[in-house]
Chain A
């Protein structure tokens, strides 16, 4: 099995570049990474290779993204999937710039090399297990998708099979799908018969051997000691301040290196625009 990955960022600062270089160096032999820079709120990021027109590949979602005013708030899929489709590997990782690992990156990816799941992501929960999720209100699915098969997750770090990279845009041709891709991706994948697993954590899609591994996420019991979630925000990368990552061997999110924490007001704008993106961007 071959694996490629896209490192997705709307910030191209030296700190983010160093973070990317550590990722590439420490996961060499496991994942071939590509730096994808999305300088604005649109869905046409700059990639080091050609990819198909997002407005054609994901026409319906693209129109919804435009009505939304950009990819922020749930439409990052319109930028990510056309780019992924251009890569030839069996497995495709997606990592946003604000994900970090308290350890050597290769140690994170190596255990998944022989895993044949179609979707590996985080914090997967059924609707009934997380009824207060902010985005359920505007989530919509075709009538043949049962409510008890609706799933949401958190995807700043995920891995997809080539098949799922094909299935998802096809599914989204049906305008009955709507809402945040944290919902549309895992729910449509489940309907397609995809094999879905949680990268770790402690949820309904976590395999027993990974329970408590990879990250600590929000659970039904609450948000104590969360390493991978919406909050808390860490201001420095692991390579800059390893002492601030108190649990080794886990992934962390979000890390905002000179970037405002996400909110509807900030939309990820950099704290200081010097040499960095200035418009709403990629993460969340």
Chain B
């Protein structure tokens, strides 16, 4: 994260519905723009002014729908390396910790969007 903007990672896919096709991206909010780039390359997939970005937080931990020009993208700030399964106490605790961290990342991302617009 940066002081006023946001520089982190999220799994995302186009559309507003959860999908297993989401993959990791670099997510940057800086200088009045939202930039998305593949985690695997140094290229740019999307770079738009924040004035064209709207958000709809979801109930799911760390998820948010970002609308660019009325086209939805679903971002999930959960740690992709975090364990998804397991019924034991330790596994449940790890999921809770990951959910809390994801909510914090989402909050920082949303604040950066709001701050960048003002």
Contact = CB atoms under 8 A, between A and B. Distances in A.
A57 B15 contact: yes
Contacts of A266: none
A194 B41 contact: yes
Nearest to B43: A193
B15 A52 contact: yes
Contacts of B69: 60, 173-175
Interface stretch (B19-27, B77-85, B92-100, B106-114): B19-27
Interface stretch (A18-26, A164-172, A206-214, A230-238): A164-172
A166 B22 contact: yes
Contact of A163 (B12, B16, B23): B23
Contact of B46 (A57, A58, A170): A170
B41 A173 contact: no
A163 B38 contact: yes
B48 A142 contact: yes
Contacts of A175: 68-69, 71
Interface in A230-273: none
Given A52-B17, A56-B15, A170 B36 contact: yes
A59 B43 contact: no
B21 A85 contact: yes
**Interface size for chain A: under 10, 10 to 19, 20 to 34, or 35 or more residues?**
20 to 34
Interface in A129-153: 142, 144
B71 A191 contact: no
Greatest chain A CB density within 10 A among B12, B21, B69 is at B21
B44 interface: yes
A110 interface: no
Contacts of B70: 59-60
B40 interface: yes
A173 B71 contact: yes
B8 interface: no
Given A59-B71, A60-B70, A193-B38, A169 B44 contact: no
Contacts of B37: 192-193
A188 interface: yes
Interface string B20-57: 01110100000000001110111111111000000000
Contacts of A144: 44, 47
Contacts of B13: 85, 166, 169-170
A162 interface: yes
A173 B44 contact: no
A164 to B, nearest CB: 9
Contacts of A171: 45-46
Contacts of B116: none
Contacts of A90: none
A193 B44 CA distance: 7
Contacts of B61: none
Given A162-B21, A169-B14, A192 B73 contact: no
A107 interface: no
- Shortest Cβ-Cβ A-B pairs, 4 listed: A193-B43, A193-B41, A169-B14, A173-B71
12 contacts: A52-B17, A162-B23, A165-B21, A167-B38, A170-B46, A171-B45, A173-B14, A175-B68, A191-B43, A191-B44, A191-B45, A193-B44
Interface of A: 52-53, 56-60, 85, 142, 144, 162-163, 165-167, 169-176, 188, 190-194
Given A163-B23, A166-B21, A190-B43, 8 more contacts: A56-B17, A59-B70, A167-B38, A170-B13, A171-B45, A174-B47, A175-B71, A176-B48
